[in-house]
Chains A and B, each alone.
Chain A
Amino acid sequence: MKGPQPVAKPEVVANSEVQAEPLLTTGDSRVADGVFHFAMLACGLCVLALVGLIVYELMSGSRLSWHAFGLKFFFRSEWDPVNEQFGALPFVYGTIVSSILALVFAVPLAIGVAVFITEMCPRWLKGPLAFTTELLAAIPSVIYGLWAIFVLVPLLHQYGEPFCARYFGWTGLFDGPPYGIGMLAAGIILAIMVVPIISSITREVMTAVPQQQREAVLALGATRWEMIRTGVLRNARAGILGGVILGLGRALGETMAVTMVIGNRPEIARSLFAPGYTMASVIANEFSEATGDTYLSALIEVGLALFIVTIIVNILAQFLVWTVTRGTPARSHA
């Protein structure tokens, strides 16, 4: 069943009100209507107020640190609570590297899953598969962290990291002792958490590609994969990119699972085996123990930066998904 068309709706409602007017002149129902409208408006305004409040609290909370360090805050790698010297570079680095690592693992898998579910699998398998991958998104972060500490990290320590060091050591990315805990573990656990988001958006966008597109390509003699590649994926690429960026937004702000496996050391190291620190985890670990106003303020500034970056990333992603699903015909071939 289709919903009412948003454009036509206000007109219809207004009309019916006018027609019903004689029946509604009992005065108090008009008052009640006004009150109800106002109450609902207040709830809507709450949403605006909350975002305003978040921005205000973060800005006012980080003022002290902003005045002390300025923009250099994000380019200094010193983090010394005792001498009140703060720089967020190691956290920015850790956040970016762990998120990119997560995308490197997650994107091919997520697109593969979406392609399989929408284009290849038998109909009876579609529902259960979609539900199961969405279930991955419902598992709380702290449980992923728990699992990572006791299952993933020992596996990496014993098998994964020695293997990488032996065969890919020449890249320089896999130097140093394989603790298990570190950037690589964080990237993998983030990838697991991000896959359902990317694949569900990709699925949505692929479903939005018109069926005729598929039939046309098939009629030209394409194999199924050629049809998917030229007929579906190429048309949906903006939306898929949107899904990937949405996944990035989630990875940037993810806290608990990363905090539990990344090692929590404010260092910048080239090796993926080395422990690191992210913006979200430094807040999680140090906020309730922060002594001194500058310390607290520095942590809030890290939070502000995280907020701004995730907001920009999310808006960009929504815009990209919207361009595909809102019927703007995607260019077929460049």
Chain B
Amino acid sequence: MSELATPGPPKRRRGPEHLLTHRLARWVDSRLGTAKLARTALNKVFPDHWSFMLGELGLYCFIVLVLTGVYLTFFFSPSLNTVIYQGSYGPLRGVEMSEAYRSALELSFDVRAGLVMRQIHHWAALLFLASLGVHLARVFFTGAFRRPRELNWIIGCTLLILAMLNGLFGYSLLDDQLSGTGLRIVYSITLSVPLVGTWLASLLFGGEFPGPDIISRLYVIHILLVPAVITILLTAHLAILVRQKHTHFPGPGRRDDNVVGERMWPTYAAKALGLFFLTSALLAFLGGVFQINPIWIYGPFDPAEVSAASQPDWYMGWLDGALRIMPGWEIRAFGFEIPNPFFPGVLLAGLTFTLLYAWPFLEARVTRDHAEHHLLDRPRQRPVRTALGMATIAFYTVLFLGGAADVLGATFGLSVNAILWTFRFLCLLAPPVVGVVTYKLCKEMSARDGVPTASRVTVREIPRRLRHGEERDEAERESPALRS
């Protein structure tokens, strides 16, 4: 710093300090003190395990979503004005359609690199949700949500909901036959909320379905509001991760009061950068080679028409399946009614996410384990949690398959009614069966490992000593059975 501040006689030697990057770094450092901060960052320790990359995958998908999405906004026009298509896709020439649908067609056929960008965007959304789902499962089954990480669990659940909604809003913008059908279902579910449903639906859609304003509103929500909130929450998610440091799996030298892994710089950072490029490469390949959401086949939205086998994107499949599996019940009393879609569309979805948010607190209350945990569980060590998790996955898998009942029926030549009846029973039967089998398997596997499961060991983790920075007792620290 002092060298730059006090210019001395010019040196002959061209050492590294004369490189532009070096001088620039010095310039910045002298104003912000970045070297000190950066050194801490470079030495940040990241435990290494393949499952810790799942959330990272989601982050990279989000970056690809933003990049491709910005490109798409340059060409898409969210307007419901009626126009006559005159573009280069022959079969639809002369057809009356909305400005939104036309601009989506033009984006696909007449804008160079438009189709590949649109398809990468859609594939990235599918993979984004998949990464979030698997990341959530990893965090759940390894107990990474326990104290002190409940906050990040809550942020993560919110990110999942936002991602799902924004995916739905995104493919609803194009005003093709499939997306219009999806919006119709969104409208009806909104309408089904007791007391306020009619008002909610009218305010959201700007009137009765199809509503004059819904596309332009969803556009602002899809490209501005939700991405902004996701970015803020994502930043908080990562900041909390840095503050609390990463969890790690049990192993030699790994304790609840340390974190063992690679330094961020250079290996971890390089691998993460490599993973970002490889994720983007996969998405580019999928977007180039595998057709996704071919809106020109669906045609423009006509409220009086619907195509058979209307399916949402995969992450909404469980909700669509729930709508199908639900028996035809409605509650009517005193001239008021609770419409059928309320139960699967509002109640089930509400319960799902309430339970998800509440899980860390429920578990802590039931197990009376309020201690800090930085060592992860192996799923088999927690048979009850693992069994409940697997039962839940079984339930939503049945719902998801229920969403494909008509496709399954057509593919296997079965009666759709028989399939739906099967799923109605399965969504009640599969969770307990899967839960019990998982429980037994966990017990069996941990018995084979010779590691006692949580139900036989009272886990009292390090709390007080560590929290108050007292000296740690070496013997006590190594005693709990889980560490073996």
Q: Do A and B bind each other?
A: no
Instruction: Write the residues of chain B forming the contact surface with A, with a CB cutoff of 8 angstroms.
Output: none
The chain A residues found within 8 Å of chain B, CB to CB, are none
